[in-house]
Amino acid sequence: MSEQPRLHHLLDRLRRGVLLEAEAEALAVLVGELAADIARYEEAVGELNEANTTLQRDAANLQSELNTQRWYAEDRLRTVRLQRQRAETAEAEVARLTAGHGRAIEGDPT
């Protein structure tokens, strides 16, 4: 008889008041094993809860770091875009100023 049906059988005999002494010992052993299983289960659950808490904390820290890095990257992108815009404006100004000089030089008979 496997453990669970045996346990139910012994509990049934206990309830009916017909449990033999050897059966009472067997029932005590089964209950002791179940208590040990529960203790191991509770310990494992505690360890899993602790690991889960650590993972959640690590995930929150990583998210915070990601947000910070994203902010720095977006700030750098804004800076690069502004620098590019200024460079394009400066290039256009240089082209405008040199365009007049080029015509003057082209027309210079010297």
Q: Which domain holds residue 47?
A: 3-107
Tell me the whole-structure pTM to 2 decimals: 0.55
Query: How many domains does the chain divide into?
Result: 1
Please, how many CA atoms are within 13 Å of residue 89, restricted to the half-sphere of its CB?
Answer: 6
Distance CA 30, CA 23 (A): 10
Q: Are 102 and 95 spatial neighbours (Cβ–Cβ below 8 Å)?
A: no
Q: Return the amino acid letter for 75.
A: D
Question: Residue 48: pLDDT band by 50, 70, 90 thresholds?
Answer: very high
Question: Residue 3: pLDDT band by 50, 70, 90 thresholds?
Answer: confident
Indicate if the pLDDT at residue 102 is higher than 80: no
